[in-house]
Amino acid sequence: MLTSVIIVLREVLEAALLLSILLAMCRVLELRRQWFYGALAAGVLGSIGYGLMLGPISEAADGVGQEILNAALQLALYFFLLVIALLLIMNTHGNRRYLGLLQSMMLLAIACATLREGSEIFIYLMAFAPQQALLSSVLSGALIGAGIGFSIGALIYYVLVELPCQYTLGVVLTLLTLVGGGLCLQAAQQLVQADWLPSAMPLWDTSTLLDENSLFGQLLYALIGYEATPTPAEVIAYLLGVGMMVLLIAFALRRSDMEGQNYEFHPD
C-alpha cells in the first residue's frame, strides 16, 4: 500500500504544482474557470488513451518511442509555460490583451501536464486490475497519495491567491521559470536514455546530501527539477531552458514597464 501512496503522490504532486499555479492565475486575472475543468477532463482522457496505446508507442522509433513522446510532451509544456509567462506580463498595468491566446495556452498546458502524469497512474492501476486481492489496498493507497498531492497543490494555490498583489506576478514567474527548467532537464534525460543525445558521466553527485527518493527530494524534483547525479546534457538543457525564459521575461518586463510609464503620462 505504501508503494502506491508514493507512486501516486509523486505523479500527482508534479501535476498539482502546475495546476495550482495556473488556476491561481485564472483567479487573479478573472478568467473563466469552466475551461479549466474541460482541460483537466481532456488530460484525463488523454492519459487513458496514452496508457492503452503504450505498447505500440514503446515499440516505435526502434524501441525508444516512449522516451521521444515524453520528451516532446515536456518540451511542448515548456513552450506553453514560456508563452503563458510572457502573456501574464502583457496583462499587467490593468491591460487585458490576448486573453483568448492566454486561455488556450493555459488549456494546453493543463491538458499536457495532466496527460503526462495521469498516464503513469493509469498504467500503474491497470497493472493491478487483474489482481483482485491486491487491488483494494492499491486503490486505497492511491487515494491517500492523490489526497496528499492535491492538498499540497491546494496549499500552494491559496498562498498564491492570498499573496499581496505586487508580489503575485514575481512569484508566479519565478515558479514557472523553475518548473520550465526542470521540464527541459527531464526532456534531456529522456533523450539521453533513448541515445538521441550524447551521454557522459554525471557532473556531480549530491545524493548523500539530498536523496532524490526522499519526500523533500521529490518535492524539489517537481519544483526545480532536482537531480542528484545530472549528466552534462541535462545541466546544459536546464541552463538553456531557464536562461531563455529569464531573458524573454526580462525583455517583456522592460517593455511593459515602459508602457506603464507612458500610461501614467497620458491617462486617456
Contacting residue, 74, 91, 114, 231, with another protein by CB under 8 A:
231
Angle among Cα 87, 88, 94 to the nearest 5 degrees reads 110
Contacting residue, 212, 224, 240, 248, with another protein by CB under 8 A:
212
Q: By CB under 8 A, which span of 86-94, 154-162, 169-177, 201-209 interacts with another protein?
A: 201-209
What's the closest the beta carbon of residue 112 comes to another protein, in angstroms?
A: 18
- Sign of the CA dihedral running 215, 70, 40, 244: positive
What's the closest the beta carbon of residue 197 comes to another protein, in angstroms?
A: 9
195 is a site residue for another protein (CB under 8 A): yes
Binding track over 54-73 against another protein, x by CB under 8 A:
xx--xx--xxx-xx------
Count the residues of the shown chain that bind another protein, applying the rule CB under 8 A. 39
Contacting residue, 42, 202, 240, 244, with another protein by CB under 8 A:
202
For residue 197, give the amino acid letter.
L
- Residue 201 burial by Cβ neighbours in a 10 Å radius (0-12, 13-18, 19+): exposed
165 is a site residue for another protein (CB under 8 A): no
Nearer to another protein, 63 or 260 (CB): 63
Whether the Cβ atoms of residue 87 and residue 98 lie closer than 8 Å to each other: yes
* Closest to 34 measured CA to CA, from 21, 45, 23, 25: 23
- Kindly compute the dihedral angle of the four CA atoms of residues 89, 241, 244, 157, in this order, to the nearest 10 degrees: 10
What's the closest the beta carbon of residue 138 comes to another protein, in angstroms?
A: 9
What's the closest the beta carbon of residue 29 comes to another protein, in angstroms?
A: 36
Which residues ranging from 86 to 145 are in contact with another protein (CB under 8 A)? Answer: 120, 123-124, 126-128, 130-131
79 is a site residue for another protein (CB under 8 A): no
Residues that bind another protein (CB under 8 A): 3, 7, 54-55, 58-59, 62-64, 66-67, 120, 123-124, 126-128, 130-131, 189, 192-196, 198-202, 207, 211-213, 227-231
